[in-house]
Structures are given as structure tokens and as C-alpha cells.
A and B are shown apart, each in its own frame.
Chain A
Amino acid sequence: MNNPPDISQDPKEYEEYAHGVQKHVRGYLMVGALLLTFTAITVALSYVDFGTRKANIGIAMLVATLKAGAVAAVFMHLAAEKRLIYRILIFTGFFVLGLFWLTLLAWYDYPIFR
């Protein structure tokens, strides 16, 4: 969000600005409700047998990722954020996944090029 206009100098512009922020507020409430719903869904899904335990874990992590994505995109304003922040986060994501993935490969000698 940009800097708001000065209410004492431009009352009309300020009103428009405040109205714009108000629209975002609806979005926050909706995402909040969504997150609560998805929490209930996560709990419910954990009682469904998807075959292997790995499948259950996968599905739970998928739901968790969706929730986390909503928090990041809407609450943390990432959806409208500047490029620089994206770049920092993409590198971070790459390195943390590298930490998991490469350690896993080293641990178990997965023959990915069999």
C-alpha cells in the first residue's frame, strides 16, 4: 500500500484512500475464515486413510502449504510485494529445499540416475 495522503490537506483524497484500504480489509477477513476452515479440514483429513502414511503426510503438507501461501500472499502482502523481496525469498526457498533434498540424497543414496 502506498503512503496515505494527509487527511488535513486532502480530505477527499484521504477518504478515497481509506476506502481502498477498507476493501483490503474484507479480503483479510475472508482469508481468515478460509484459514480456520482449512484447519478443520486438515484435522478431518488426518482421520481419513489414504493408503500409506506417506500419502497422509503428503496431503497434510499440501493443505498446510496452501494455508501458508494464503498467509504469505494476503496477510504478508507478498502478492503485491516488490521484486527485490521475491528474489530474496526465492533464493531462500531454493537453499532450504536444497538443505532438505541434498541431505536426504546423501543419507539414503537415492539412485536417481539408475
Chain B
Amino acid sequence: MEIPYTVSTRPDTGLWNAKIGIWLFLASEVMLFGGLFSAYIFLRIDAAPGMWPHGLLNVPVGAGNTAILIISSVTVVLAWASLKMRRYRAYWWYMLVTISCGVIFLTVKLAYEWPQKFEHFGVYIKPGALGKYEKYLGNERRAEKGMEPRIEITGHLHSQTAKEYEVALDPVNADPDNPAMDRPHFLPLAVTDKIATIEKADVERATMFLPTHSAYFASYFTITGLHGLHVLGGVLVFIYMWLPVSKKLYQRNPEHLANRVEVSGLFWHFVDLIWIFVFPLFYLL
């Protein structure tokens, strides 16, 4: 006996097997990312004043990556529609675009965004020493305006000795009282060449922008990392469905291939969906 309903639908449910399977899997993925998002929520609510940063991520690049995923979502559903209409060449091209978009997304993230962060440096100043570095923090003005204090000096680590750090400052620390620095810019501003000397004795903690840096980066790298793994998985599955071996399945049973593409496409849309929430939560808010 063969396993029924792999391609055709069961009359009383109206569904074929893999459709139910993938939706159950996606339900579990909702709960998985739900767990991660709940961590985001509680870590952010509980963050001490000034400890949850804003404007550290590159918004145009992030928005561009968002657009790329959206485009790939469109192309994958068009690929599926092409298969349903039995137009293999169109399917092949749409699938290629989808795969390319996925690869671009990953490349931007892993070859640009993440390394940019790893090279950036941040120094948390001890509470007692905040006054000493007021010229880089601008907290008097911020206190007057009822804003959260700045407790970190960021930029590029120029050099360090046993007793101090030399930091090429970010604009927000080079010119802290400028009202333009109160909120993040759309186009990220370059690190200035103004160097600040910070004594290690005044430093609470100093790290690059790695997961260990703060609850914010811990969440950012973990969620985008896991999301990236899902993108990679989707890309690999799509590659398999695009290689010549898929043409063989198309010739044997085109509906079976269409169903497989639909199922992978559903997974891909879910990955896009998660990113739709990740982007504003980490890049904009």
C-alpha cells in the first residue's frame, strides 16, 4: 500500500499531507520566535535607563534587506504559480531570483552588517565618573529635557594602553548637546576623527558590539542569527528544487513538484514574516 494524499487531497479535510505538516511546523516556529520575542520584550522593559540603545543599526541597509525579502516572497509565489500553470522556464527564472535574493540578504547581513558591528567599540562609564565625561555625554541637557541619560561612549577603538582607551568618537559623543543627536538619523553618520581619551579606571565595561556587549546586542545577534539560519535553510531547499533533479520530478509528476514548492514557499513567507517584525523592533524603535 502506498501512502495516500501525498499529492491529491483527502476529501473530508480538503488538504494534502505536506500542507498540514508544514503549517504544523510553522506553528512550532511561531512559538520558537515567540519565545525569543518574549525575551526581547522583558529584557527591554527591564533595561536600566540608558542601557537600551537606539539608532545603532543601519536603517537604509536594513530597509533594503527587508525589500529584498519581500521581493523574494513575491517571486517564490510567482514561481509556484508558474508551476501550477505548467510553465517550467518561468518557474526556473523566478526560483533563481528567489534564491539570489536569499543569498543577497545573507551576504549583506554576514559580510557587511555584522562585521560593521564587530568593529564598533563601546565603553560604559562608571556611574560615579559620568560627570567627568560630560563633554562626550551631554547629560545635563538631557536631564533638563527629561530624557534618559547617556552612559556609553562609542566609536572606533583607535588605540589603548594599560591605563586608557583612545576612541575615535561617534558623532553622538563628539557633539552630544546638538539637538540633532537626540534621535537616530536615517543615513548613518560616519565616525568622526575626534579622539577621546578614557581612563580604564572610569570604565564599567568595554567591548566591541558583540553579543556580549548588552542585552540589546545579545537579542539582536541571537534573533537575526537564528533568522539567518532559517534563510539559509530555505535557500538550500530552493536550490535543491531548482537543480536539474527537479526537472525530472516535474516531468514525472508536476503537481508533486508544485506542492513541494508551495510547502517551501510557505516556509519562506514565514521567514519573511518574522523579518517584518524584527526590522522595526531592532532597527527603528
Contact with A along B62-103 (1 / 0, CB 8 A): 010011001101100110010011100000000000000000
In whole angstroms, how far apart are the Cα atoms of A89 and B27 in the complex?
Answer: 7
Q: Is the CB of A96 within 8 A of B70?
A: no
Interface positions, chain A 25-45, Cβ under 8 Å from B, are 25, 28-29, 31-32, 35-36, 39-40, 42-43
Interface positions, chain A 62-77, Cβ under 8 Å from B, are 63-64, 67-68, 71-72, 75-76
Total A-B contacts with CB atoms under 8 angstroms apart: 123
Q: Is the CB of B280 within 8 A of A64?
A: yes
In whole angstroms, how far apart are the Cα atoms of A29 and B13 in the complex?
Answer: 30
Interface positions, chain B 155-173, Cβ under 8 Å from A, are none
**In the complex where A4-B255, A103-B38 touch, is A68 in contact with B70 (Cβ < 8 A)?**
no
In whole angstroms, how far apart are the Cα atoms of A32 and B31 in the complex?
Answer: 26
In whole angstroms, how far apart are the Cα atoms of A107 and B43 in the complex?
Answer: 12
Closest to A53 in B: B285
**In the complex where A35-B70, A43-B186 touch, is A100 in contact with B77 (Cβ < 8 A)?**
no
Closest to B85 in A: A18
In whole angstroms, how far apart are the Cα atoms of A31 and B27 in the complex?
Answer: 23
Q: Is the CB of A71 within 8 A of B276?
A: yes
Q: Is the CB of B23 within 8 A of A21?
A: no
Q: Is the CB of A60 within 8 A of B284?
A: yes
**In the complex where A36-B70, A92-B27 touch, is A25 in contact with B81 (Cβ < 8 A)?**
yes
